[in-house]
Amino acid sequence: MTLLNDLRTRRRRLGVAAACTGLLAALLTTVPAAATPDPGDGPAVEQRVSQGARAEAAAAIAEGEIPGQDEIVHSDNIEHLVNIPKEALPGTNSDLAFQGKYAFSGNYDGFRIFDISKPKSPKTVAQVLCPGSQNDISVSGDLLFLSTDSSRSDSSCNSTTQPVTEKSSWEGMKVFDISDKANPKYVAAVETACGSHTHTLVPERKNVYVYVSSYSPNAAYPDCQPPHDGISVIKVPRKTPEKAAIVSFPVLFPGEGPDGGGNPGSPTNPGVSKTTGCHDITVLPSKDLAAGACMGDGILFSIKDPEHPRVIDQVQDNVNFAFWHSATFNQKANKVVFTDELGGGGAATCNAATGPDKGADGIYDIVGKGDKRKLVFRGYYKIPRHQADTENCVAHNGSLIPVKGKDIMVQAWYQGGVSVWDFTDSSKPKEIAYFERGPLDTQVMKTGGAWSAYYYNGYIYSNDIAKGFDVLKLNDRRTDPAKRIHLPELNVQTQPDYFD
């Protein structure tokens, strides 16, 4: 295990490598306009990089300027406690959720439950085979929720792939009873328009509302017709989850004509995804607020009436954002961090050719009050370590680290690893810690790296697409106060009031 603290040489050499190859320029020109957000949505495609790029990467590794293949490096204030490789579920690892002493790990083949009562030695409690990408995962009480955004033959866990053009195909939300963590039981399924790419819980005492994000309608898809432009709202009674059903479909981007009212994308806005729905939503129930990352748009909306969310403000960045992917509020609810998943998570965008503003986080202050609140752009954040041209790298899922008076979060960057950064000054964000592995391969582009990285009860947990489940410990006076905060449950997209 190696510590790398001097980033200057890494920037210099990989900047040269990126500039000498046309691969990145081609990827960034062709991918974002019709982005396939989140790796694994389509067939995995390995792309061989140029001979020059391979030679530059080999030289950089030999001189210690970037990590070697699969080599682990980190800042000196992070410990890598353990990695738990995949076992029964070989598919793409996706999101994470937490409850008490358990961590719930999504995987395109199903989900896995870990006992994390001893973070240095997590134990597998259950592995449930239930294929259906992305298997985005959340928990609330005795219920576990799983998103299916791939066309299946039926709603069962024995389903097989089936063309989306067939009316009988199924996509949507699955609900499990996890009162016995060792034996989860499948109790309900709700089909939703265009499937469920991700979902967000708005929990209440008697019911759990589920906001289902989906997109990319097509006139040839019977269950995913344009313009779409909205979210499905599911109501799940806690005592009778088998009665789960859609209660509304709020259109967030109203507009006339077949294309609706969101960002028109290319060719009007070259390189920007057309808005046909939302990719992900984060709710802040304590403030009745939500932030939506919706392809070509970022939105702020009220969830005071959870069945009928209402848009307050809508913003676009047609210069540097290709695909609005996810959102995170700060604790005071006066900022939102939006991520841009440039290249759909499958491109090498953390290098000099791409620059510091594309494929980054966008930091927005929330100014004003009530329905007059506005999202105001303040700055970008991107990891300060250039990656090899064979490493898919872009901003992805993260969470707050609860420190009073500070805005600090931990975030996954695929093969860029895990970054801890401070955005207390919205216009001058800075990294304070990091963890990463060297490239999966130095000859071809392979998809891997950290899908999500979340802070929960004193530790950072990361789900690596290819390598498995990682546990990290952060030792830094700036973040140490967060160790006093213990939550009974955490779904990052249902953001808690950490200090209530």
Write the pLDDT tens digit of every residue in 59-110: 777 777 789 999 999 999 999 999 999 999 999 999 999 999 999 999 999 9
CB atoms within 10 A of CB 219: 9
Q: What share of the chain has pLDDT > 90, as a percent? A: 84
> Residue 262 carries which DSSP code?
S
Determine contact, residues 474/423, Cβ cutoff 8 Å.
no
Residue 192 has pLDDT above 50, yes or no: yes
367-376 average pLDDT score = 97
Q: What is the DSSP letter of 316?
A: -
pLDDT at 51: 72
368: left (phi over 0), alpha (psi -120 to 50) or beta: left
Tokens for 79, please give them. 């410990």
Q: What is the Cα–Cα distance from 227 to 245, expressed in whole angstroms?
A: 22
Kindly report the pTM of this predicted structure.
Answer: 0.92
**Cα separation of 303 and 290, whole Å?**
7
Tokens of 388: 């090899």
| Average pLDDT, integer, range 231-241 | 98
- Region 300-317: what's the mean pLDDT? 97
Q: Are 118 and 128 in contact, with CB atoms under 8 Å apart? A: no
Report the Cα–Cα distance between both ends of the chain, in Å, rounded.
Answer: 39
Whole-angstrom Cα distance, residue 206 to residue 227?
33
Q: What is the pLDDT of residue 328?
A: 98
Q: According to the model, what pLDDT value does residue 112 have?
A: 98
Mean pLDDT across the chain: 91
Backbone angles phi, psi at 27, to 5 degrees: -60, -45
Q: What angle do CA 397, 347, 56 make, to 5 degrees?
A: 120
Per DSSP (E only), the strands in 108-237 are 110-115, 123-129, 134-140, 143-152, 170-177, 185-191, 198-203, 207-213, 232-237
Q: Considering only 143-147, 212-216, 253-257, 454-458, which range has the smallest mean pLDDT? A: 253-257
For residue 314, name the pLDDT band (cuts at 50, 70, 90).
Answer: very high
* Helix (H) or strand (E) run with residue 391 in it: none
Q: Cα separation of 422 and 54, whole Å?
A: 34
Question: How does DSSP assign 204-247, residue by residue?
Answer: -SSEEEEEEE-----TT-TTS-S---B-EEEEEESS-GGG-EEE
| Confidence band, pLDDT 50/70/90 cuts, at residue 26 | very low
pLDDT level of residue 498 (50, 70, 90 thresholds): very high
**pLDDT number for residue 405:** 96
Q: What CA–CA distance (Å, rounded) separates 109 from 113?
A: 13
Tell how strand 2-3 and strand 72-74 pair up.
parallel
- Residue 197: per-residue pLDDT: 98
Distance CA 140, CA 323 (A): 29
Helix (H) or strand (E) segment spanning residue 104: strand 102-107
The whole-angstrom separation of Cα 181 and Cα 123 is 12
Q: What is the pLDDT of residues 126-145, one digit of tens each?
A: 999 999 999 999 999 999 99
Nearest to residue 128, comparing CAs of 157, 151, 153, 161?
157
Q: Residue 496's closest CA among 326, 336, 328? A: 328
Per the CB < 8 A criterion, the answer to whether 414 and 450 are in contact is: yes
- What is the residue whose two structure tokens read 């134990």? 123
Residues 328-344 have pLDDT tens digits of: 999 999 999 999 999 99
Count how many residues are written for the chain: 500
Tally Cβ neighbours within 10 Å of residue 155. Answer: 18
Q: Which amino acid is at 448?
A: G
β-pair partners for 170:
152
DSSP code, position 430: E
pLDDT (0 to 100) of residue 19:
36
- Tokens representing 359? 């494929």
Query: Cβ atoms within 10 A of the Cβ of 451, count?
Result: 26
Question: Tens digit of pLDDT for each residue in 157-181?
Answer: 999 999 999 999 999 999 999 999 9
- Please give the pLDDT value at position 59: 72
What is residue 62's predicted lDDT score, i.e. its pLDDT? 74
257 has a pLDDT exceeding 80: no
Q: How does pLDDT run across 197-207, given as a tens digit for each residue? A: 999 999 999 99
Residue 289, C-beta contacts closer than 8 angstroms, at least 6 positions apart: 283, 300, 301, 302, 303, 329, 333
Taking the C-alpha atoms of residue 218 and residue 221, their distance in angstroms, rounded to an integer, is 5
pLDDT at 133: 94
Q: Give the integer Cα–Cα distance in Å for 391 and 106.
A: 22
Which of these, 352, 350, 378, 374, lies nearest to 364 by C-alpha position? 378
The average pLDDT across 30-41 equals 45
Neighbour count for residue 479 (Cβ, 10 Å)? 22
Of 24-28, 45-49, 281-285, which one has max mean pLDDT?
Answer: 281-285
500 — pLDDT class (breaks 50, 70, 90)? confident
Is 324:337 a contact under the CB 8 Å cutoff? Answer: no
Q: Band of the pLDDT at 16, cuts 50, 70, 90?
A: very low
Asked whether the bond before 493 is cis by omega within 30 degrees of 0, the reply is no
